[in-house]
Amino acid sequence: MKKSPVGHQDRDRYWLLSSVYERLASLVFGQELVAAHRDLIEGGRGALAQCTELIWIGGGTGVLIEELLSAAPQATLTYIEPSKSMLKRAQSRVHQMVQRDQERVIWVNATHEWLYQRAQIDSSQTPAEDHANHQRCLLTVFFMDVLTAPQCHELMEWAREAQVNTWLFADFIVQTGWIKRAFIQWMYVCFMVTTQIKQRSLLDHLQLFHEHGWSALKESGRYRAHDLVFSALLTQEGHTSL
Ligand SMILES: C[S@@+](CC[C@H](N)C(=O)[O-])C[C@H]1O[C@@H](n2cnc3c(N)ncnc32)[C@H](O)[C@@H]1O
């Protein structure tokens, strides 16, 4: 497993949550959050089949990691997760898989900032003859909501420069009704108390994506959990606006 001083966290902020995370999520949302993962895998089948390098940031316990690896048979998966306890749970899922699939996963116990070390992910390092076939996909599921606005901008810009071909995104989205807004704010308070996240409220990620030239592929958008959650495949040459 790769370790790096960049993005390394001394304290596992999710150790308390990791053992109950999936049970809590299903208690509050039923199977809707798992379904949002599945929507991305199903909707992203075309992109995943072509994908040679898949980067999953903040994957937590690795919900549906087996299905993801099956849908992207040519890809190496770089799994970036700062919480050791979350990472271990994802690893135990992959350890049930055949050796070849296990060997396709690079485990990175660090925050997303690990990506910004130039040597980690650098398209100029891809051999020239592989460039044309190289397809880089990024997956973030219920991860962007932990980042501050400057961190979101930085990651969206990094993804553009790193020539990410498809960004598979799922997260909570900004609501208009006060009950849903209050519910999301309550979730933030819970996360602030248990994991000390710095972001205090939900940002309009779709607007931020738009500002950075990312747009949703036509008909890839799916809503879940009474429209609290939205998922889509984003590209830089998107065919339709969000
Ligand atoms: C709300 S959980 C979602 C987990 C998983 N994606 C899911 O949907 O089940 C957020 C995850 O992001 C991870 N995380 C928090 N800050 C991070 C950062 N800066 N870089 C990468 N991962 C981070 C946490 O450790 C946690 O596993």
Q: Which atom of ligand 1 is nearest to the CA of 14?
A: 25
List the Cα angle 220/79/172 in 5-degree steps: 40
User: How many angstroms does the Cα of residue 127 sit away from the middle of ligand 1?
Assistant: 32
What's the rounded mean pLDDT across residues 83-88?
96
Q: How many structural domains compose the chain?
A: 1
Is 241 domain-assigned?
no
- The overall average pLDDT reported for the chain is 92
69 lines ligand 1 (CB under 6 A): no
SS3 of residue 43 by DSSP: helix
Q: Are 39 and 67 in contact (CB under 8 A)?
A: no
Is 10 domain-assigned?
no
Contact partners, residue 169, CB within 8 Å, separation at least 6: 40, 140, 141, 144, 205, 209, 231, 232, 233, 234
Is 99 domain-assigned?
yes
Is 128 domain-assigned?
yes
58 lines ligand 1 (CB under 6 A): yes
pLDDT for position 11 = 80
Q: Are 16 and 194 in contact (CB under 8 A)?
A: yes
Is 8 domain-assigned?
no
Kindly report, residue by residue over 190-233, the tens digit of the pLDDT. 999 999 899 999 999 999 999 999 999 999 999 999 999 999 99
User: How many angstroms does the Cα of residue 3 sit away from the middle of ligand 1?
Assistant: 17
What's the rounded mean pLDDT across residues 169-175?
98
Is 160 domain-assigned?
yes
78 beta partners: 55, 106
| pLDDT of 155 above 70 | yes
The pTM for the full model equals 0.92
Structure tokens given for 189: 């308070």
Is 137 domain-assigned?
yes
pLDDT band at 1 (very low <50, low <70, confident <90, very high): low
Range of the domain at 199: 15-235
Comparing 1 with 147, the larger pLDDT belongs to 147
80 beta partners: 57, 108
Q: What is the CATH number of the domain that holds 198?
A: 3.40.50.150
Is 223 domain-assigned?
yes
